[in-house]
Structure 1
Amino acid sequence: MEAKIWLSSPHMGGGEMGYIQEAFEHNWVAPLGKNVDEFEIAIQDYLQENKFAAALSSGTAALHLALIQLGIGYGDEVICQSFTFSATANPIKYLGATPVFVDSDKTNWNMSPEFLEIAIQDRVKNHKKPKAVIVVHLYGMPAMMDEILEICNRYEIPLVEDSAESLGSKYKGRRCGTFGEFALLSFNGNKIITTSGGGALVTNTKAQKEKTIFLSTQARDQAPHYQHSEVGYNYRLSNICAGIGRGQMEVLEERVSQRRANHDFYKELFSDIDAVEVFSEVNSDFYSNHWLTSITLHKDLTSRTTEELMSAFLDRNIETRPLWKPMHLQPVFKDCPYYGENVAEELFNQGLCLPSGSNLTNDDKKRIKDVIVNFQF
């Protein structure tokens, strides 16, 4: 059997082992140490905009701690993009709050500003003003940040950016993860860079960062004994994993270039196939890292399905994946409010994520091309 071509596998840069070895030599294998400190500094330097970063065990943990610091609690409502992975919505439920889901924009795929405002107005009319808005930069594509920020500011609702998939992406020249009151990053094994598992919470102030670290290390008070005045969590990133992150940050820009080159490869591959549209930036305001290159099939131009295309790739041992199933269609969220039409649902039904790892070889691309050339659209 041919070797597996993965959707998005880890890609080491070469410098990671040096930082890991240093941690072993100094016996810093706990969730603190030089690697954690330097990894956070590297993230902050990369993002710029005078942001602060706290390294955590996952992007989900980061979002959970952001919502806690925004005062989200039982009975509150948080507006959330429906077209996303469940980790965007789950922390809302952790706190006993209710997700209010919003549909996507047809061209941008991220939260629709139009339906965002409709949702806010309707919740306010029903005496339930949302306590926060969570927007996602899906598959690396920046959301329509000017419009969304204007709405959030006008209604005085804090914005949280789910930037788990968008490290290296930019909106009007400004990096994703720097627009909201908080932003979360993910360094899961399939992301553009990885720490094996891990994430970070990006904050606007040093005090917010310090609060994040306090909460993520079991909320231990300043006392000579173990004293706790708040509920804490075991969410801090280990010094070993942070060492991987330091090495990965050194090659981040290279990884972005490689992912964008993959996107160009797919654009060329599908250029003469009218039935397929490659998800791309609509104009120069948007700069995507193209973490996962995704396509949609035009049902009016082909009778073939995404399931058939997935099967054709699988026959060559190539991994693909459907687009995210919208949260408002998930059984666990079936009773939550939803505002929109069926944009996210249509994308789910017509879309597919293609192999996009920065370690794709020319031979890998040849196999992928062979599948497309032989698939009768």
Structure 2
Amino acid sequence: MELKILFITGIFLLLISGCTKKNVDGFAEVIPVVEIDGLVNDTSFLDSASLFIPETKQNALIHGADRIIENEDRFLILDMEMKQVLGYAKSGKHLFTIHAVGGGPGEYVNLFDMAIDRQAKRLLLLTYPPAIQYYTFDGVYERTERLEAIYKSLAVTDQYIYLRKETYANNHLSDYSLLAIEKEIGHRHSLWKPLPEIAPFCTFGTMSMTGNDPVYLTRKFDNTIYATKDGLIEEGYIIGWGDKAFPDTSGKRTYTCEELNEICRENKYVYTMTDLCDMPGYLLFRTNQPGLCVLSKEKKEVKNYHLVMNTDYQLVMPNFIPVEGGGGRIFFVYPSDVLKMSVQADGKHPNDNLSCLLEQISEESNPVFFSYFVK
């Protein structure tokens, strides 16, 4: 009789577990990190170097590049500081600017993110008041879909729209981090219980979620890179930072941003991974420490390149940013005024390539984008 009861109980528990959705699935292996100190030539791991110099116009002034999407023959640039999206041909010719700041229909007060729905052939903007605004690929407004909460990041796949939520506000932790919307039927479900917040409002980098399929996402004080699959989240890669991993405090104390930056600077701790760029053989990202991280999916290792030298222009590359939908393209962004001043301060005569580039720009010009593909 006892065996029968245990058997029935076991079957019941099995059925219950089989019908319950888990927020995070899978067990990822730990990927070791190899530090590449000193100056590394771009040609050692990058290829197809070129320049993208966006046209400078009164209605096309780029103050910052927070997300970049390559869509067919053009680049789309999200500039959160100026609350705008700019469209450029790959030649650099300006095509359109979306800057619909206001309180009327089709307007917004703030702009947080953008993504491409390649299936529907639409550009989506994530705005405040909370909404998703739909545009054509030529920057023509179509409609607004209201949201019930404030979200800060947006990703679109063939089946889902994913919205990343701020998890800490008014001294309270949210009960979820991610909202998944099934595009076909509109069903919504929340995912991913937040970690305890030990450094409120401290951020680094730009985006902690990629915008297209597969959607990779990260969070502070977590060494795992996650991926979405069928409306759920699974572990993708666990990065083995070793003694550079931020020590686990288990929520026992909190840090101010100044304290966090100081302890990470002194101990070279890594507490966040951002600006992920997925490609067939690699996954690129950066951290709160200097450098560009390249994860080889085949070799199962991460190489952290501290300084990258552009050999054509003899320049150290700053400000890495991925290009969504670019087939593995990445940009390094150099503000024109900083570029000209750094060359002057260096005191050395620039080579022919750099001299030619400096003649094309002024200190008021839009940034220069150094383009590469990973070998």
The TM-score normalised by the length of structure 2 is 0.26
Q: Which has the larger radius of gyration?
A: 2
Give the strand-richer structure, 1 or 2. Answer: 2
Give the helix-richer structure, 1 or 2. Answer: 1
Higher relative contact order (CA 8 A, sep 6+): 1
